[in-house]
Structure 1
Amino acid sequence: MAGLRVSSDALEAFAVFAEHLNLTRAAKALHISQPSLHSKLATLARELDRPLYQRTGNRLQLTADGERVARFARDHLERLELFLGELRGTPSTRPLVIASGHTGYLYLLGGTIRAMLAERPGSVRPLHTNRQQMRAALLTGRAHLGVFTLHVLPDDLVAVPIATYPQVLLMPEGHRLARKRNLRLADLAGAELIVPPPARPHRINLERALSAAGVPWTVAVEAEGLPMTLDFAALGVGPTVVAGCVQPPPGLVARRVTDLPLITFHAVHRPGALDDPRVADLLARIRSGIPPAARRRVGSSTG
């Protein structure tokens, strides 16, 4: 590979393709024809002497090398834009991208995003993901920072604990358990619970805890995502276990389940990402927006 030269144009084309993983949409975003984009990608793969993407069923997926090239391409374009901005005395127009889920956006990140957009429109962009999608977005450079609860810490990313909350049972004000100040798992015996689908980490961990405590329970309904979970709880379908940062909507109350483990949210980023002062500032702003009580719990629990 000595003497290899790869153009910024080819890297930009691949970065856009990696974001869409669709030739038609990527070509449209680049304002070029699909055959022209395909030619650029083929040339880049040939110059690097390795496949960058593959077809799996009806979907296109990046190879491991493709993820590395996509990450480099995005980093290269951002560094180039930052350099040119410094040279011209103008700020970068490329937004910082945060990958998170419902709970993170609703209860941890909203204030930071609102303030940053008020200061400079377009400076930050949310990317709604699950944990697996967050990891992929960080590894390919689509996102600068992720915020999630992690049940297994990644070995290829940096995870910084930023807030820890107890787990609470959310239920209507008239529910029989609402009279108690705190709950134990045994209090949930016979409950019909609103839970995520079976493969979700929260569902798995909750089932294990209830089973270990010998608590019988049944599924009231399986709900995908926090908004649907809260809607079902407000309808009286059943109680649900959520992180303590979730604010009960009108008509609902939350009671801590004392023998469930604390839940820790992490800020996740690629190694070296904080060398970019914009990303370091974003993390600092997120941490400063966390309630002090939640920050104090960080380090007292593995989450």
Structure 2
Amino acid sequence: MLLRHIHYFLAVAEHRNFTRAASAMHVSQPALSQQIKQLEENLGTRLFDRSGRSIALTDAGEVYARYARRALQDLDAGKRAIHDVSDLSRGLLRIAITPTFTPYLIGPLVRTFHERHAHIRLQVEEMSQERMEERLLEDDFDLGIAFADVHSRDIESRPLLEERLALVVNRDHPLANRQQIDAQTLGTLSLVLLNTEFATREQIDRYCRQHALHPQVMMEANSVSAVIEMVRHTPLASLLPAQVAQERADLLALPLTPTELTRTAVLLLRKDAYRSAATRAFIALAGPLKRE
């Protein structure tokens, strides 16, 4: 059995069509079909059900696909291990991050990491936590920065810091002279919030339900930067990490009282994954944040 057999098998499993899989793998459809036939003969079982209008994995195929994907992940990790340089004179670090951490957290981390390890290439990508966990399991990233609510048992989390959400307003807002905001006042406000695709919005909605609050959500956006601009240019307030306002002279962060809205930021890592020297260095750098 050759490695290409596994690649062809997984392509058919993904596309559920021999023609599309062959196109994706840049081979002819007859050649791909022959490779799948050889694989099935080698394993002594049918991997695909070809009786319907579309191709489907058999039970044996479903099981084999899980192990085949893991085998390719391990082989890729082996390649990285071979080329990994322990003195950090070269390498690649792939980081996924949830959008609410981008405005204030990733910048200082990347700055310090680059100052210490200038020859390490960094790839940083924003995404939802659900998608992040999926792609960590697919070995598309070395680590992620997200929240403590981990969904997969194959992902481990390491605490970074406790984050506090606050009412963020511009300096012309009627509440700008307040030192803090009580729950009763919060329930009367008109807000601009991140939309429901964000874990932050889920946490805000949960907080409001727990305190029987019913603020009016007048605007929604799918990025933190858009929410910030709406707060800057309208009388609306928002609930965002307090650090976001601390980075801008034209915004104020008013603490919530008597119960703060807090959450834990964590590093996410696939369990049992290969840890490159760059990954280990970033973990060591980020670790002290939890004590700040």
96, 103, 106: which one aligns with 1:106: 103
Q: Is 2:187–2:214's contact at 8 Å kept on the other side of the alignment? A: yes
Structure 1 partner of 2:92:
95
Following the alignment from structure 1 to structure 2, what is the Cα–Cα distance between the partners of residues 173 and 199? Answer: 29
Distance 1:91-1:76 versus aligned 2 partners, 3 A rule: farther
Following the alignment from structure 1 to structure 2, what is the Cα–Cα distance between the partners of residues 243 and 167? Answer: 4
Following the alignment from structure 2 to structure 1, what is the Cα–Cα distance between the partners of residues 126 and 33? Answer: 32
Aligned 1:110-121 pairs, distance under 5 A: 110-117=107-114, 119-121=117-119
Counterpart of 1:213 in structure 2: which amino acid?
H
Question: 1:202 and 2:197 equivalent?
Answer: no
Tell me how large the CA RMSD over aligned residues is.
Answer: 4.2
Structure 2 partner of 1:76:
75
Aligned 1:181-200 pairs, distance under 5 A: 181-198=179-196, 200=198
Distance 1:120-1:16 versus aligned 2 partners, 3 A rule: farther
Deviation at 1:235, TM superposition (A): 1.5
Deviation at 1:73, TM superposition (A): 1.4
Following the alignment from structure 2 to structure 1, what is the Cα–Cα distance between the partners of residues 111 and 9? Answer: 31
Q: Summarize deviations over 1:226-264 as a string: whole Å, max 9, x none.
A: 111111111115111012232453421111113133111
Deviation at 1:51, TM superposition (A): 5.9
Structure 2 partner of 1:231:
229
Deviation at 1:272, TM superposition (A): 2.3
Following the alignment from structure 1 to structure 2, what is the Cα–Cα distance between the partners of residues 181 and 268? Answer: 35
Question: 1:260 and 2:260 equivalent?
Answer: yes
Q: Is 1:101–1:128's contact at 8 Å kept on the other side of the alignment? A: yes
TM-score, structure 2 as length reference? 0.74
241, 244, 249: which one aligns with 1:243: 241
Identity rate, percent: 17
Following the alignment from structure 1 to structure 2, what is the Cα–Cα distance between the partners of residues 43 and 100? Answer: 42
Q: Summarize deviations over 1:27-58 as a string: whole Å, max 9, x none.
A: 5xxxx557599569847974676869xxxxxx
Structure 1 partner of 2:287:
287
Larger Rg: 2
Aligned to 2:157, the other structure's residue is in SS state strand
Structure 1 partner of 2:163:
165
Q: Summarize deviations over 1:97-147 as a string: whole Å, max 9, x none.
A: 111122333322223334545644562211221111101111111111111
Distance 1:199-1:98 versus aligned 2 partners, 3 A rule: closer
Q: Summarize deviations over 1:55-81 as a string: whole Å, max 9, x none.
A: xxxxxxxx7864653343133123234
Counterpart of 1:83 in structure 2: which amino acid?
I
Aligned 1:136-147 pairs, distance under 5 A: 136-147=134-145
Following the alignment from structure 2 to structure 1, what is the Cα–Cα distance between the partners of residues 186 and 230? Answer: 18
Structure 2 partner of 1:127:
125
Following the alignment from structure 2 to structure 1, what is the Cα–Cα distance between the partners of residues 112 and 35? Answer: 39
Q: Is 1:96–1:123's contact at 8 Å kept on the other side of the alignment? A: yes
Deviation at 1:157, TM superposition (A): 1.1
Deviation at 1:151, TM superposition (A): 3.2
Q: Summarize deviations over 1:203-224 as a string: whole Å, max 9, x none.
A: 2332232233233321110111
Structure 2 partner of 1:300:
none
Aligned to 1:221, the other structure's residue is in SS state strand
Structure 2 partner of 1:271:
271
Structure 1 partner of 2:17:
none
Q: Is 2:5–2:39's contact at 8 Å kept on the other side of the alignment? A: no
Following the alignment from structure 1 to structure 2, what is the Cα–Cα distance between the partners of residues 36 and 144? Answer: 37
Following the alignment from structure 1 to structure 2, what is the Cα–Cα distance between the partners of residues 50 and 173? Answer: 68
Aligned to 1:190, the other structure's residue is in SS state coil
Q: Summarize deviations over 1:176-224 as a string: whole Å, max 9, x none.
A: 2221212222221321111222354332332232233233321110111
Q: Is 2:22–2:32's contact at 8 Å kept on the other side of the alignment? A: no
TM-score, structure 1 as length reference? 0.72
* Structure 1: runs of 5+ lacking an equivalent: 53-62, 298-303
Q: Summarize deviations over 1:261-282 as a string: whole Å, max 9, x none.
A: 3111110111123654432222
Count of aligned pairs between the two proteins:
274
